[in-house]
Chain A
Amino acid sequence: DGGITQSPKYLFRKEGQNVTLSCEQNLNHDAMYWYRQDPGQGLRLIYYSQIVNDFQKGDIAEGYSVSREKKESFPLTVTSAQKNPTAFYLCASRRQGSTEAFFGQGTRLTVV
């Protein structure tokens, strides 16, 4: 079955720690995206990548980092510089030439 897999589903982070959220897709999509969702707000774009080894900052990139070494994978690292990281994180992908986005099931990150 083709799709987007995010792991883990739940993640707990201590103050001052970096954590990495995984996003893998087997849809052969070129573009991949990371969004953050807070209660009562729409999804906000953190980073996106349209091709391997290239990525761009979204609207709220501060305190986050990404890499795109493989077409299938787009991991997101939440660094200790992100002051309010507790949120629901969603990964999406899109085929080249299409504007339709497909989403993973999300990772809920909580700072303890």
Chain B
Amino acid sequence: KQEVTQIPAALSVPEGENLVLNCSFTDSAIYNLQWFRQDPGKGLTSLLLIQSSQREQTSGRLNASLDKSSGRSTLYIAASQPGDSATYLCAVFDTGGFKTIFGAGTRLFVKA
């Protein structure tokens, strides 16, 4: 059964710092991996989608990498800002059940 783990569970950094969020999954048979942002009490906003055949995707200050063989993904945020404060969720689209499986998220706080 596919399991997705995110480390750390929470992270507090000063503004301007570069940071890395980690995501690991137990079964490499995935179609894609998606990173989401969730603000308190809100739905999920898709940040980056990496297909299983890709190694990385970039959008602005965000860069996500995927190493399917080792079951790992990282989300790199450059020059963090207070507006980046949110929970970041990683999810894989599993080939076994054809559904999306989520990690518990990393709660990020960027201090001004």
Q: B-contacting residues of A (Cβ < 8 Å)?
A: 6, 33, 35, 40-45, 48, 50, 58, 88, 90, 92, 99-106, 108
Contact = CB atoms under 8 A, between A and B. Distances in A.
Contact of A45 (B36, B46, B89, B99): B99
Interface of B: 4, 9, 31-32, 34, 36, 41-46, 49, 89, 91, 93, 98-105
B43 to A, nearest CB: 4
A42 B102 CA distance: 5
B89 A42 contact: yes
Contacts of B9: 40
Nearest to A102: B46
A48 B108 CA distance: 30
State the majority secondary structure of interface residues on B: strand
A76 to B, nearest CB: 15
Contacts of A40: 9, 104
A104 B43 contact: yes
Contacts of A99: 31-32, 93, 100
20 contacts: A33-B100, A35-B102, A42-B89, A42-B104, A43-B91, A44-B102, A45-B99, A45-B100, A58-B99, A88-B41, A90-B44, A99-B31, A100-B34, A101-B46, A101-B100, A102-B46, A103-B36, A103-B45, A104-B43, A106-B43
